[in-house]
Structure 1
Amino acid sequence: MSKLKNIYRVDKFIVPESSRDEFLSRILDTHKILRVQPGFIQDSVLEHTEGPGRYNIVTVAEWESQEAINSAKNVVQAEHAKSGFSPQQIMDRLSVQADIANYTRVSE
């Protein structure tokens, strides 16, 4: 029997320095919602400090399954809609570029 692999949602952002504080505040608010969802395991919100690289903010959230991610996404979208928050509008206004994808751990 094969063991199911956890899914890692990795969001990488290029955030102008002038937009950093507002954007991070929004990310942290969203992660508060994610952390209490079924299937959530752990997360990290990371900021680039040294070395070459395009992305200066990276978030990683580990989930038990794709179904858990989908369910959490629905909850977050509903919360955003209730408050009138549009992530895409904020990213456009703040000139944030994103690279968002799901990953699994490579077996050794």
Structure 2
Amino acid sequence: MNPAPVFRINKFAVPTQSRGEFLDFIVETQAVISAQPGFVRASMMEQYPGPGIFNFVALLEFSGPEAVDPIIAAIADYDRAQGIDRPAVMAGLGVKVDMGNYRALELT
């Protein structure tokens, strides 16, 4: 039996002036994630005019719970190798972040 997929939903409140640099950073991160075993797919969405705090949402799908920790570790390894302090980068760009792992819920 295949494990149920895990969905990582990352929400970002990005100031207009930081948009370009933020998206460049996301592209780099996505390259690391997409090369990992257990990665299934990703989507990045930008809010168009309307209410809400978060103007960017990333939806990442992983094959199952066993894929999550190794992918997080791969990002941490990449950050160490590149000298990246991810929380400091986000703070410097003025980005507020909310992240979480989710599983599909069957409503019947």
Question: Aligned partners of 2:71 and 2:27: how far apart in 1?
Answer: 15
What stretches of structure 2 of length at least 5 have no aligned partner? Answer: none
What stretches of structure 1 of length at least 5 have no aligned partner? Answer: none
Cα deviation for residue 50 of structure 1 reads 2.9
Number of matched pairs: 107
After superposition, residues 29-44 of structure 1 pair within 5 angstroms as 29-44=28-43
Cα deviation for residue 17 of structure 1 reads 0.4
How high is the TM-score relative to the length of structure 2?
A: 0.92
Cα deviation for residue 6 of structure 1 reads 0.6
Give the corresponding residue for 2:46. Answer: 47
Cα deviation for residue 28 of structure 1 reads 1.1
Preserved CA contact (<8 Å) 2:5 2:103: yes
After superposition, residues 1-108 of structure 1 pair within 5 angstroms as 4-108=3-107
Question: Aligned partners of 1:27 and 1:41: how far apart in 2?
Answer: 17
Question: Aligned partners of 1:65 and 1:4: how far apart in 2?
Answer: 5
1:40-72: per-residue Cα shift (whole Å, max 9, x none)?
A: 110011111132211111101000122211101
Once superposed, what is the RMSD of the aligned Cα atoms?
A: 1.3
Moved more, 56-65 or 46-55: 46-55
Superposed structure 1 runs of 4+ greater than 6 Å apart: none
Preserved CA contact (<8 Å) 2:3 2:65: no
How high is the TM-score relative to the length of structure 1?
A: 0.92
